Amino acid sequence: MNFQAALSNYEHAPAATAEDEGGEASRKWYAVYTMPRGERSVAKHLELFQIESFLPTYESTHIWKNRQRVKVVEPLFPSYLFVRIRAIERSIVLRASAALMIVGNRQGPSYLPDSEIEFLRLDFCQHKLEPYKELVIGKKVCVKNGAMQGMQGVLVKKRNGLRFVLSIEMINQSVAVEVAADEVSAVLD
């Protein structure tokens, strides 16, 4: 290829965007759907490429057939983990053998608000979170103060206490955390 042809191709190539250039602000959180029990495998793959990932977990107690109680650390959202990447890093994520897809719609992968991931990463939440699968339509509330101030979710009652349920709608998963009644206020529609 001669110089003129190369120059012609260069002029018609799409310009690099700020997202492609590598600024920290261009990194967004995405949900990655994995094969069943493949979350940790994908996280290890991403660690090799120095890609930030987050696998929220919780501790549960299992009772084996011999009646032995064992504490087990399990993914909070089975078959999902979160990655903070630029658009050009998507292919690295999908090269992991257990990664099936980056969650999105017809237009492509959709990113999650930083506030939802930061909520899940709070030290305050680490030992209080648990999966909440029986999400029923309840009263939508907003947390008034504390570490979760401004978060919106559904309020439900469980075992003489109140639970605040945060739904990550993109992956159709929910998580519950205990709150005091005076920490929440109703959200007006």
We report the CATH number of the domain holding residue 174 as 2.30.30
Residues 26, 146: Cα–Cα separation, whole Å: 29
Whether 12 and 104 map to the same domain: the answer is yes
Question: According to the model, what pLDDT value does residue 130 have?
Answer: 74
Same domain membership, residue 56 and residue 34: yes
Query: What residues are paired with 130 via a beta bridge?
Result: 176
Last residue of a domain, one of 53, 78, 112: 112
- Domain stop point among 71, 87, 112: 112
Of 137, 118, 120, 124, the C-alpha closest to 179 is 124
**Cα separations (Å) of 140 from 70, 128, 151, 163?**
36, 20, 11, 12
Structural contact between residues 119 and 82, judged by C-beta atoms closer than 8 angstroms: no
pLDDT at 180 exceeding the cut of 90: no
Could you tell me whether strands 161-168 and 69-75 are parallel, antiparallel, or unpaired per DSSP bridges? unpaired
Is the pLDDT reported for residue 76 higher than 70? Answer: yes
- CA–CA distance, 11 with 91 (Å, rounded to integer): 26
Predicted TM-score (pTM) above 0.85: no
C-alpha to C-alpha distances, 21 to 10, 44, 53, 89, 188, nearest whole angstrom: 17, 25, 20, 11, 41
Return the CATH number at 36. Answer: 3.30.70
Are 5 and 98 within one domain? yes
Q: Is residue 117 part of a domain?
A: no
Same domain, 105 and 131: no
Instruction: Please tell me which residue, 89 or 179, carries the higher pLDDT value.
Output: 89
State whether the Cα torsion 169-174-179-182 is positive or negative: positive
At 20 the pLDDT is 45
Mean pLDDT calculated for residue range 116-121 = 87
Q: Into how many domains does the chain fold?
A: 2
What pLDDT is stored for residue 9 in this prediction?
A: 33
- Provide the 8-state DSSP code for 169: G
Do residue 95 and residue 142 come from a single domain? no
pLDDT greater than 50 at residue 82? yes
pLDDT digits (tens, 9 = 90+) for 14-32: 333 444 455 677 899 999 9
In a domain, 118, yes or no: no
Summary mean pLDDT of the chain: 78
pLDDT tens profile 134-175: 433 467 777 877 777 888 887 776 655 667 777 777 787 888
Domain that holds residue 167: 125-189
Q: What pLDDT, on the 0 to 100 scale, is given for residue 189?
A: 62
Domain boundary among 46, 78, 112: 112
33 plus 80 within the same structural domain: yes
